[in-house]
Chains A and B, each alone.
Chain A
Amino acid sequence: MARPKKKHNKEIFALGNEAVVEGALLAGCNFYAGYPITPSSEIMEIMAQRLPTIPNGAFIQMEDEIGGIGAIIGASLAGRKVLTATSGPGFSLMQENLGYGCITETPLVIVNVMRGGPSTGLPTSPAQGDVQQARWGTHGDHSIIVLSASNVQECLEMTIEAFNLAEKYRTPVILLIDEITAHTREKIIIPNENEYEVFNRTLPTMPPEWYKPYEETVRGVPPMPAIGSGYRFHVTGLTHDVNGFPTSRADEVRELNERLFRKIDQFLDDIQLVEEVDTDDAEVAVIAYGTVARSAELAVKQARALGVKAGLLNLKTLFPYPRKATEKLLYKVKTIIVPEMNMGQISREVKRVNNGQVSVRTINKVDGQIIAPAEILKVLTRV
C-alpha cells in the first residue's frame, strides 16, 4: 500500500488513535465492541460517534473486554467487519476468545495500545511489553498475525492492512501500537477510495447443501458465509471436522491444525511487511518497530552524517516474524542493534534467525520512557 501523494487527498491533524479509526472505516469496518482503557480509549470514543452515522454501522460498549471480543466474534460471524481496541490488562482478558477466533477462523482486528506493565503498570507511559503475549498469549499451538505502526500515518495504513489480512486469511489480526504513537498528533493524509485495496472475505458460491464450512481450498482458507444468509452451519471452539462438528479423530485433528498454520505460513511474502532505510550498503543495522523505529530512523540518519554506514529495518509485521528480511540483512552487516521498550521480546526472534552469525546488541528500556535517537546513535557509533 503506497503512501498516497495526491494533492486533493484529505489532510487532517490526528492522534494515532484517531488514525486507527480512519483506517478502520476506510477498510469497511462497521462494527465496534469494547471496553475503555487508557491509552486506547479514544479509538472507542470516536467509534461511538462515527459508527451510528454510517449505514449499518453498529457500536456497543460491553461490560468488560471478554464481552468486547465475544461481541465482535458474534458480529463477524454475522458478516460484519469488526474492531476492538484495548491495552495490556484488557488484552489479557481477551486471550481465551482470541484462541476461539483462531480455531473458528473468524476475521477480527484487535488493536492493543501497549502501556507499561506488568499488571495495571504505567497506564499513560509507553512500553512494548505485549509483543510475545500477542504471539503466544492464548492457549494452544497456533499461527497468528501481529502488526505494528511507528507513526500516525502508519496507524491508518496498518489498520487497513490489518483488516485486509484478517479477511483474506480468516484470522484474528493484532495491531500493536505504543502509547507515544497513539497519543502523538501529526498531519496525516487520508487516501482516496481508489488508492488502497480493500479485501473482503470470500463468500461461498456453491448451494448451501454442498457447503462444508472448513473444507480445504487452494489457499487453505475456506469461504465464509454470514450467519443468516441461508448457509446453516455449526461453529465451535472444539477441534472440528470439515463440517464444523467436534472430532477427535487423529487424521481430522491433524488436518485442521496443520491447515490453520499452512494458510498463513504459505503466504509470508504477502504478510511480512517491512520498511528498509539505508540498508543497501549498511555495515551496521538497527531492527526496530513502533515508536522506537522512528527514533532509530533519525539515529541512522545522524550516524550516516558521522560517516557510519548505518541502516534500519522497520518491522511492520512482528509475527510471523520476518525471517527473510532479517536474513538478507545478516549477509550485509557486522552488527545488528535491537532497541526495544522491553527486556528483549523481538531481539530473541532476531537472535533465533541470526543463529550466531553476526553480533546482536540490544538496547532495553523499561522505565516508561521512550528510547531517544541519541541512545541508539551512541551504540551505532561505538560498534
Chain B
Amino acid sequence: MADIKGTQLIHEYLRHNKKFPHVFCAGCGHGIVLGSLIRSIHGLGLSKDDVCVVAGIGCSGRLAAYVDFNTVHTTHGRALTFATGIKMAKPNMHVIVVMGDGDSMAIGGNHLIHAARRNIGVTALILNNNIYGMTGGQCSPTTPSGSFSMTTPAGQMEQSFDCVELCSAAGANYVARGSVFHVNKLDAMIMEGITNPGFGVVEILSPCFTQYGRKNKFKSPVEMYQALKKKVTPIERFNEIPEAERGERVPSGVFVKKNKPGLEEKYYEMAAMCQGGE
C-alpha cells in the first residue's frame, strides 16, 4: 500500500515521456537515491521551479536527466563549481549536487574541499560505490585497500579517503553518511542537508554490483545489500564497539551540524551594506 503511494509520488517528479528507460543496472543503488531525493524534496514541500539539480559525470551524474527540476549535467568533477555559480546567482534556490566518489573526491577533490571551506549553501549528495562505474570499474579514491578493480588487479595498495572526515575537516556545515539500504534515515538526512544553511554533504553508500561486486566476490546484488546492512552502523553504536572489533563496520548518521550562514547570505548582506542599505 505504502509502496504504491511511493511509486505514484515518484512518478510525479520523473520526466517519463522524455528520457526513459534509464541507464542504471539492475541492483544499482543510484535509483534508490533518486527515489530518496524525490521523497525528500516532496516532503519539504519545495516547488519544482525552486530546485536545481546539478550533476557531474558518471553513472550518478545521469540521475539529473530523469527528474523534473532545473537540471544541469556538467563536466566530470566540476558540478560543485557550476552549483556555486548558480547559488551565488540565485541565493533563494535549492541547489542540490549529485556526484560519484570519483567525481567528487578524485577529479573534483579540490572543489569539494573548497565548497566546504567557503560554506556555500549547496547540498552535495555523494553516491559512493567505491568504484568508477561508468568507465568500467577502475579504482576510485574510496576503493578499500586490498579491493580489486580493473586498475588494481593485485588489490588496491593506496589508502582511501573517508568522505565524512574529509568534508568535516574542510569545514562543511552539515555532514552525514547514510546508505541505500536504510532509506528512511537517508530521506531524513537529505531533507536536513537541504534545510540546513551552508554547505551540506550526505555521503550515500550505494552498491555497484556490475563493476565492484563481481570483482570482489559478491555473488549477487542482494548479497551486496546484505553486506551493506551488516556494515552500516549508527554512530552511537559504532562508538561503543572497541576499535579492534569494528572490522568492516562504517559509522552512519549525522557527524556535523553547524548553523553558520552560507557564503551567499554573507555576501549579499555585505553587498546590501555597500549599496547603502542597512
A60 to chain B: which residues have CB within 8 Å?
Answer: 84-85, 88, 263, 267
Say yes or no: B65 contacts A70, CB within 8 Å.
Answer: no
- State whether the Cβ of A114 lies closer than 8 Å to any Cβ in chain B: no
The answer to whether B270 has its CB under 8 Å from any CB of chain A is yes
What DSSP secondary structure best describes chain A's contact surface? mixed
Which chain B positions have C-beta within 8 A of A74? 54, 72, 81-87, 89
Interface 1/0s, chain B 40-59, versus A by CB < 8 A?
00000000111010100000
Question: B78-116, CB under 8 A of A: which get 1 and which 0?
Answer: 101111111111100100000000000000001100100
Q: How far is the CA of A170 from the CA of B267 in the complex (A)?
A: 28
Q: Are B73 and A78 touching (Cβ within 8 A)?
A: no
Q: Are A78 and B89 in contact (CB under 8 A)?
A: yes
Q: Is the CB of A70 within 8 A of B78?
A: yes
CB <8 Å contact, B18 and A243: yes
Chain B residues whose C-beta falls within 8 Å of the C-beta of A58 in the assembled complex:
88-89, 267, 271
B residues in contact with A100, CB < 8 Å: 74-75
Kindly name the residue among B15, B84, B85 whose own CB sees the greatest number of chain A CB atoms within 10 A.
B85
Minimum CB–CB distance for B21 against chain A, Å: 13
Q: Map CB proximity to B onto A41-77 as digits: 1 under 8 Å, 0 otherwise.
A: 0000000000111110111101110111111111111
Q: Which residues of A contact B275 (CB under 8 A)?
A: 52-55
Which chain A residue shows the least CB distance to B78?
Answer: A70
Contact B90 A78 (CB under 8 A): yes
A237–B79 Cα gap in the complex (Å)?
12
| Distance between Cα atoms of A78 and B111 in the complex (Å) | 20
Contact of B89 among A31, A96, A235 (CB under 8 A): A31
In contact, A235 and B49 (Cβ under 8 angstroms): no
Name the residue of chain B whose CB is nearest to the CB of A236.
Answer: B73
Q: How far is the CB of B13 from chain A (nearest CB, A)?
A: 11
Instruction: For B80, list chain A residues within 8 Å (CB).
Output: 70
Contact B271 A71 (CB under 8 A): no
Contacts A234-B64, A234-B65 given; does A75 touch B274 at CB 8 Å: no
Binds B, one of A224-232, A305-313, A345-353: A224-232
Q: Chain B residues near A243 (CB, 8 Å)? A: 18
The docked-state distance in angstroms from the alpha carbon of A69 to that of B81 is: 8
Distance, CA A54 to CA B54, complexed state (A): 28
Interface string of A95-131 (1 = CB under 8 A from B): 0110010000000000000000000000000000000
Q: Does residue B152 face the partner (Cβ distance < 8 Å to A)?
A: no
Closest residue of B by beta carbon distance from A53: B274
Residues of chain B within 8 A (CB-CB) of A245 are: 18-19, 65
Shortest beta-carbon distance from B275 to chain A in Å: 6
- A80 contact set on B, CB distance < 8 A: 89
**CB closest chain-B residue, reference A243:** B18
Question: Chain B contacts of A59 at CB under 8 A?
Answer: 267
Asked if B72 and A235 make an inter-chain contact with CB atoms under 8 angstroms apart, the answer reads: yes
> Complex Cα distance A230/B48, Å?
9
A238 contacts chain B at the CB level, 8 A cutoff: yes
CA distance A230 to B81 in the complex (A): 23
Is residue B216 contacting chain A, with contact meaning CB distance below 8 A?
A: no
- Decide yes or no whether B69 CB sits under 8 A from chain A: yes
Supply 12 A–B pairs (Cβ within 8 Å), ascending by A: A53-B275, A58-B271, A67-B114, A70-B111, A74-B85, A74-B87, A78-B93, A235-B73, A237-B75, A245-B65, A246-B19, A246-B65
